[in-house]
Amino acid sequence: MWERTLQDLIRGLRANKGDENKFVQKAIDEIRVEIKGKDMQLKAGAVLKLTYLNMLGYDMSWASFYVVEVMSSPRYYLKNIGHLAACQSFTPKTDVLMLTTNLLKKEMSAPPVELSLSLNTLSHIMTSDLARDLAHDLVTLLTHSRAHIRKRAVVTVFNACTQHPEILPAAFTRLRLMLEDPDPGVVVATVNVITELARNNPAAYLNLAPQLFHILTTSSNNWVLIKTMKLFAALAPMEPRLVKKLQAPMSDLISTTSAISLLYECVRTCITGGMLSGPSGHALARACVDKLSGFLQNEDQNLRYIALLALLKLVPTHPYMVAAYEEMIMSSIEEPDISIRMRALDLVSAMATQDNLQSLVARLLAHLVPTSAPLSSATSALTAVQSCTPMASMASPSMSPAYRVHLTRLILSLGSREMYKLVTDFNWYLSVLADLTYVSNAPGVGAEIARQLVGVTVRVQLSRRFAVELMTKLLGDENLILRANEGESCPEVLGAAAWICGEYCSESSDRKVILYYLTRPLISSLPFNILALYLHSTLKVYGSWAADLAVRWDVSDSIELNRVVDMIAEGVKPFVSSRDIEVQERAANAFQLFTFVRADLSSYKRTDGETVAPGTPAYPKSLFLVRPLFSAFELNAVAPQAQASVLIPEGLRLNEWIVPPEKEDHDTWDGEVEEAVTEHMMTTKTVKKRKGKKKVASADVRKAETEEERLEREQVSSHWYT
């Protein structure tokens, strides 16, 4: 009988790419026949083919028992096939794993060739049961005479410890001795294992510090040194004396090594291990920063990336050292690699101070503006952004929407950090917020810009006049209004501008201009929530302007007054029929109010210098009609902890009824509930006593009611009340 070999199977798969499933199914049917035979060589060939198919994604769990059979073959080349199949297909849920325990235990005393094969397989299929049953044999193998067996055994012991941690105490002493093994490969494997084990509990491995320090100062294997440093980075925070001990060898390695990977690991260990404090740590920190600055200038993007990561960790302890390379860090924002740019922005955020905030923000703002348009003004920047072609937008790294959102939010977070702690010039910061309105072109940032505009204006009284003048310019910008419904615009800023101009309109030099901006027909395209703010602010501005006009009233002012009132009334009228309920309500209130003002103005009689009757004002009475509605008190900022400091007034009970429910209804409901509960219990008693017993009357039920039944009735009653 002719059998298909693995080579034949591979050739067949390549020849049947159009109908692979059919060919594979036929091959599996052949394998099912071959694997059940008594010829071990034929069975091993079937397992080998099945293993190859398993690598392609086909299931072979049904053949697990046959794999164990091949593993137990006395012939090494057949046993090798079985072990390979076990490594490939066995999982912790494989039901025949228990059959491998005795087989693997027997092979622990086999010749080195078979023993190596068993250790390799065991490290792949290790389970808690296997680790428990083979623990003694594995620990014994750590002292095997062959170095390559010790090396494999220590790795297998690590897998056993992860599955069955109770093995670790017995293996710890052997692991400590293996750090001094004469074979370098065994030392490398042992250091690797200890480094991985120490991740969960570094303090348990402090006793190994002398041996590890000896390896650090004597080994020339870069891989061993890197792993040893990783281990010391975890151990150093546990033992302050170890930090002082490590500073000298770390400084020597940083100064002498030419291996980039080892150099970076030295720097990372110094930072995470807390070795940069104190006088000796200062020199070490300077050496670390100098080496990292060299990484920033390297052409390798990976080195620039890890340099930025390391510098970010250095900022909390040595910010002045990192600040010396500010220009180099800022240039990383221009990198085409987005990961480098993001890490550079993280570093910029960490190194911001009161002294460099304005320069950092200026660089970040310039990064948001297309290179073809200088940031001479907000309007020119907006024009430049609008004229930027799609191809140019895609070519520039700063044109990615997600990146622009991140960059804009970074600027906002820098300015508002710790309640605007870094801002020394609030007029400057208000200008930055206004510029962000134009150049951010990022969705979802308008609300935060608006919130900060209002927050700064409310908190900083000296900046209110500047804020009102700046917001007036924003209200007058037609481009902002026309782009208000675009996804990348900031219509919320217009709402903040309207609120600021309304709340602090007394700071404005020309309130009539604000009234025009708030009521012109162009605003009809704005979102409804912004329109509501426009309408509300219109009343505030008019009330302030009209009251001041009354103070300096002249008969000639009546013409201007009528013109302004007519302009406001006509501007508000279209919104009376708005489909948004809040806009409609505010517009209706405002329109009726100005209708009343119109009527008052039409009935006003000019005095033209004639004597005014005592008690009769020379100005129209309606000039003081609106202002009292909005000027009862001035809004001020509330400190974050101020509200918590306000004591609850004596006698205030927050959990009591404001209007208690009527008692009659409560009593009636109480009686109904009690009656319903009693009826339910009577029914229950009747069912229990149905066999040959009389029904118990309601009175008898109450007499026979147990304590448990009473508690149940009260619980149901209270549940119904709620």
| Residue located via tokens 């309207």 | 498
Looking at residues 577-599, what average pLDDT do you find?
94
**Residues of the chain by 3-state class (helix, strand, coil), percent to 5:** 75, 0, 25
Do 513 and 580 belong together in one domain?
yes
Do 708 and 560 belong together in one domain?
no
224, part of any domain: no
DSSP 300-326: -HHHHHHHHHHHHHHTTT-HHHHHTTH
Residue 580 pLDDT > 60: yes
Report the 3 state secondary structure along 231-254: HHHHHHHHCHHHHHHHHHHHHHHH
Q: Is 535 exposed, middle or buried (0-12, 13-18, 19+ CB in 10 A)?
A: buried
- What does the pLDDT read at residue 678? 58
Confidence of residue 717 (pLDDT cuts 50, 70, 90): very low
Q: What is the amino acid identity at position 506?
A: S
Residue 407 pLDDT > 70: yes
| Residue located via tokens 């703010």 | 533
Which region among 459-468, 531-540, 672-681 has the lowest average model confidence (pLDDT)? 672-681
DSSP 67-120: HHHHHT-SSHHHHHHHHHHHHHH--TT-TTGGGHHHHHHHHTTS-HHHHHHHHH
Task: Answer yes or no: are the C-beta atoms of 223 and 262 closer than 8 Å.
Answer: no
Instruction: Give residue 444's Cα distance to chain centre.
Output: 16
146, part of any domain: no
Do 625 and 698 belong together in one domain?
no
Query: What are the tens digits of pLDDT across the range 211-265?
Result: 999 999 999 999 999 999 999 999 998 888 899 899 999 999 999 998 999 999 9
- What does the pLDDT read at residue 388? 42
- What does the pLDDT read at residue 393? 40
Query: What are the tens digits of pLDDT across the range 159-207?
Result: 999 999 999 999 999 999 999 999 999 999 999 999 999 998 999 999 9
Determine how many CB atoms are found less than 10 A away from the CB of residue 316: 10
- What does the pLDDT read at residue 692? 45
Do 583 and 489 belong together in one domain?
yes
What CA–CA distance (Å, rounded) separates 445 from 276? 39
Confidence of residue 612 (pLDDT cuts 50, 70, 90): low
For residues 383-394, one letter each, b for 16 or more C-beta atoms within 10 angstroms of the residue's C-beta and e for the rest, the string is ebbeebeeeeee
Residue 415 CA: distances (Å) to CA of 172, 364, 640? 53, 12, 17
Do 497 and 590 belong together in one domain?
yes
Q: What is the amino acid identity at position 159?
A: N
- What does the pLDDT read at residue 18? 86
- What does the pLDDT read at residue 395? 42
703, part of any domain: yes
Do 518 and 590 belong together in one domain?
yes
- What does the pLDDT read at residue 280? 77
Q: Is the entire prediction scored with pTM above 0.85?
A: no
What CA–CA distance (Å, rounded) separates 195 from 391? 50
Task: Answer yes or no: are the C-beta atoms of 178 and 152 closer than 8 Å.
Answer: no
12, part of any domain: yes
Query: What are the tens digits of pLDDT across the range 333-346?
Result: 888 888 999 999 99
Do 594 and 685 belong together in one domain?
no
Answer with the one of 70, 89, 108 that is the final residue of a domain. Answer: 89
Number of domains in the chain: 3
Alpha helices (runs of H) in 417-527, residue ranges in sequence order:
426-439, 446-459, 464-475, 478-482, 491-503, 511-519
What is the rounded average pLDDT for all residues in the chain? Answer: 86
Do 577 and 494 belong together in one domain?
yes
φ/ψ of residue 356, rounded to 5? -110, 5
Residue 717 CA: distances (Å) to CA of 26, 638, 667, 714? 72, 47, 13, 5
Confidence of residue 651 (pLDDT cuts 50, 70, 90): confident
113, part of any domain: no
Coil/strand/helix, residue 267 = helix
Confidence of residue 713 (pLDDT cuts 50, 70, 90): low
Task: Answer yes or no: are the C-beta atoms of 631 and 541 closer than 8 Å.
Answer: no
193, part of any domain: no
Q: What angle do CA 636, 641, 642 make, to 5 degrees?
A: 45
CA diameter of the chain = 133
Residues whose CB falls within 8 Å of the CB of residue 612, separated by 6 or more in sequence, listed in order:
618
What CA–CA distance (Å, rounded) separates 97 from 48? 19
Radius of gyration (C-alpha) of the chain in whole angstroms = 41
Do 545 and 675 belong together in one domain?
no
- 623 or 610, higher pLDDT: 623
Do 584 and 518 belong together in one domain?
yes
Do 597 and 458 belong together in one domain?
yes
Q: Is 707 exposed, middle or buried (0-12, 13-18, 19+ CB in 10 A)?
A: exposed
DSSP 43: H
Which region among 372-386, 472-486, 490-504 has the lowest average model confidence (pLDDT)? 372-386
Q: Is 442 exposed, middle or buried (0-12, 13-18, 19+ CB in 10 A)?
A: buried
Count CA within 13 A, CB hemisphere, residue 476. Answer: 15
Answer with the one of 46, 64, 89 that is the final residue of a domain. Answer: 89
Residue 618 pLDDT > 80: no
Answer with the one of 89, 118, 148 that is the final residue of a domain. Answer: 89
Residue 479 pLDDT > 50: yes
| Residue located via tokens 């070795």 | 275
371, part of any domain: no
Give the dihedral of Cα atoms 571, 575, 576, 581; nearest 10 deg: -150
Dihedral angle sign, alpha carbons of residues 657, 662, 663, 665: negative
Do 490 and 590 belong together in one domain?
yes
Query: What are the tens digits of pLDDT across the range 289-323?
Result: 999 999 999 989 999 999 999 999 999 989 999 99
Domain that holds residue 73: 1-89
323, part of any domain: no
What CA–CA distance (Å, rounded) separates 211 from 135? 25
| Residue located via tokens 């009659």 | 664
